[in-house]
Amino acid sequence: MNEFKTSTGEDIKSALDAARRERSIAFAALARKVVGAFRTLAEAYREARQQEALYAELSRMDERQLRDIGLTRADIPAVVAGLKGREGTRETHRESSVPSPVARERLAA
């Protein structure tokens, strides 16, 4: 024969409190993930804007100015993408992966 145990008010209150705690924990975890996603998006947006500004600045330079900092016009997309000078990339001209101190200043600005 099945025996049913009747719940007391305390049992119900305890179960509701436990459920509320679990819901709060789950909501906090979700909130952290949403905030993290927004931070990632904001960082990607900021980086894209910096790349656009760097591309525009390098594109405004004439050939002599680019040569002074060890670049050619063809190098601009790679520099903007952050690939120039990384290990494993193929260099096509003299020491172009090591910009002068003046070039580093211009690129950092």
Q: Are residues 32 and 73 in the same domain?
A: no
What is the chain's pLDDT, residue by residue, as a tens digit (109 residues)?
556 666 788 889 999 999 999 999 999 999 999 999 999 999 999 999 999 999 999 999 999 999 999 999 999 999 998 866 554 444 444 444 556 666 666 667 6
The H or E element that residue 54 is part of is: helix 9-60
Q: Are residues 40 and 69 in the same domain?
A: no
* Residue 73 counted as domain residue: yes
pLDDT in tens, 63-78: 999 999 999 999 999 9
Q: How many domains does the chain have?
A: 2
Entry pTM: 0.53
The H or E element that residue 102 is part of is: helix 101-108
* Residue 68 counted as domain residue: yes
Q: Domain containing 81: what range?
A: 61-109
Q: Are residues 81 and 107 in the same domain?
A: yes
* Residue 98 counted as domain residue: yes
